[in-house]
Amino acid sequence: MTPRYLTDTFAIAPQLSIADVADAARQGFRAIVCARPDGEERGQPTIKDMERAAAEVGLTFEAVPFAAGATPPQVDVDRLNVVLKGAGGPVLGYCRSGNRAAQLWALAQAGTLPVEDILAAGHKAGVDLSPLVPLLKQEAATSTTSHAGPGRRFDVVIVGGGAGGLSAAASLLRRRPRTTIAIVEPSDTHYYQPGWTLVGGGVFKAQKTRMPEASVMPKNADWIRSTVTHIDPDTREVTVADGGVLSYEVLVIAAGITLNWGAIAGLPETLGRNGVTSNYRYDLAPYTWELVEKVSRGNALFTQPPMPIKCAGAPQKAMYLACDAWRKRGVLDAINVEFDNAGGALFGVQAFVPALMNYVRDYGIALQFHSKLVAVDGERRIATFERTTGDKTERVEQSFEMLHVVPPQIAPAFIRESGLGDASGFVAVDPGTLQHVTRQNVFAIGDSAGTSNAKTAAAVRKQAPVVALNVAAALDGKPPVALYDGYGGCPLTVERGKIVLAEFGYGGKLMPTLPRWILDGQHATRLAWFLKKDVMPPLYREMLRGHEFMVEPEKISRT
């Protein structure tokens, strides 16, 4: 296999054989990209077989197939960009001749490299990319990213292009398409985090939960690919990492919640090794399933840190799916499963506890309340907990074969440092209007908000139209018009194929979306599993596009 290099980090080749994959790894490639659909010619190795071969030699594999003669779809161009940025070394693209892979690469460079350089790179590898010139020029002109700079003013600046930031922007643009919006987001990949539980449970492949940020960024918004480091609410300015400044009329904070891995001594060094995993990271969730498949005896520990955390049910979801797999494999009895929960209850809303307790008993799980993970020794496979009984707290060491950790979670630092936080550091907003308690032109959505709802994407679904309506009112100099009811949802995956769907609002008030005779959230149901696995992922994508399904925010009456 002789690759033809376009640049130091990207090369092309004609159709690879299975054996070529190991050769590519030996030549130093870190990722392989297939630009050709299956079945174009007899004997062509399938994408699935190539993916397996790549995994065996530790290479990333991405399939972005399109027909010869067709224009590469933007979503595939974006995917290649994600691979190029994340591979950490050279990437090898292939198709029948290598040309389609080169075309994808060319479009991925539009707006970043001058058109002449792109053509020259193609020429070097023996590919004529000149038919793409009009497209390359057009792409360069409409490149989705831009930069903060002196004097850049927007009607709305949104900090964070995750579930909340994107949904709020899209909902606002549907109502007021001419609003100028900047979304500050450093990552070029958007993750569907609710899918990570299913990755850790062996149901989804990790790749299914990631998409190029460019593919979910609203077309009419300016994407500032950077990190907000400071907000000055007096001058209405946001400073980003490279020192650039953006001015706003209205600010929406949607920066999520910070995972504080470092708060547990020894944890960062051993994550992803020595049986230590977490569904709270894209790259680690597959390791959870790998461990579940491997472990046949010994101690399996699942931890839950103090609240608040995003998706408070996720620590136990990982555990139930593991237990279900172990039971099906006939090894559950040989595994001591323990749930170490820093809190004092299995779930925050009592109505759902009986259904969960049935599974705890059934799987033989030992519950340890007020048991907080404080240290991990990966090499020795020892976890240390601080356990409180009455007024006595002691340190307890526990050996493990598998340790699933959910890290402590804190508000992003820049919120407190900007004087916009409450006592816990999250944005101090009114729980109904999501407007800041003292700054009328500041709002929060999602996990950054200092509200007591369940921090979930389900909450974002209900918050987005409220924020959109209230931001629009603020832009008109008017008071808020819509109220959020505190709705949040937590689909507890108690076994593969069944879910206890906990839906509730402020104060633990039960708020089922469907009538109880269709879906009883206080019992495990197959319908809820179907919703989680098949309906929610596309629904989430629609939410990011500003589609508001079954959401009608309460309006504030001012009579």
User: How many angstroms separate the CA atoms of 2 and 12, rounded?
Assistant: 9
DSSP assignment of 314-339: HHHHHHHHHHHHHHHHT-GGGEEEEE
Known catalytic residue at 490: yes
Which is the catalytic residue, given 34, 95, 311, 323? 311
Q: Which of 7, 9, 145, 187 binds ligand FAD (CB under 6 A)?
A: 187
Contacts of 116 (CB under 8 A, 6+ apart): none
User: Shortest distance, CB of residue 413 to ligand FAD, whole angstroms?
Assistant: 8
Q: Does 185 bind ligand FAD (CB under 6 A)?
A: yes
Cis previous bond, 308, omega within 30:
yes
Binding test (CB under 6 A) with ligand FAD, winner from 51, 78, 447, 548: 447
Helix ranges, 87-181 (H): 99-109, 115-124, 133-141, 163-175
Identify the three-state secondary structure at position 397.
Answer: strand
Stretch that binds ligand FAD, among 42-50, 203-211, 366-374, 456-464 (CB under 6 A): 456-464
Using CB under 6 A as the binding rule, whether residue 408 contacts ligand FAD is answered as: no
Which of 29, 280, 302, 385 contacts ligand FAD by CB under 6 A? Answer: 280
- Could you give the string, one character per residue 313-342, with x where binding to ligand FAD holds by CB under 6 A and - elsewhere? -x----------------------------
Choose, by CB under 6 A, the member of 221, 458, 467, 482 that binds ligand FAD. Answer: 458
Query: How many residues bind ligand FAD, per CB under 6 A?
Result: 37
Q: Closest CB to ligand FAD among 119 and 466? A: 466
- Decide if 95 is catalytic: no
State which of positions 218-247 bind ligand FAD (CB under 6 A).
Answer: 227-228
**Identified binder of ligand FAD from the candidate list 93, 98, 165, 407, rule CB under 6 A:** 165
Contact between 171 and ligand FAD per CB under 6 A: no
Beta-carbon contacts of residue 132 (< 8 Å; ≥ 6 apart):
103, 106, 107
Q: Note the Cα 78 to chain centre separation in Å.
A: 17
- Which one of residues 266, 408, 432, 446 is an interface residue with ligand FAD (CB under 6 A)? 446
Residues numbered 189 to 218 that lie near ligand FAD (CB under 6 A) are 193-194, 196-197
User: How far, in Å, are 82, 382, 463, 544 from residue 190 at the CA level?
Assistant: 10, 34, 19, 11
Q: Phi, psi (5° rounding) for residue 554? A: -65, 135
Element (H, E) at 54: helix 47-56
Closest CA to 248 of 180, 186, 185: 180
Which of the 8 DSSP states describes residue 252? E
| Residue 102 DSSP SS3 | helix
Handedness of CA 56, 57, 63, 65 (dihedral sign): negative
- Which residues are designated catalytic? 311, 490
Instruction: Give the interface with ligand FAD as residue ranges (CB under 6 A).
Output: 159-165, 184-187, 193-194, 196-197, 227-228, 254-256, 279-280, 310-311, 314, 412, 414, 446-448, 455-458, 460, 489, 491
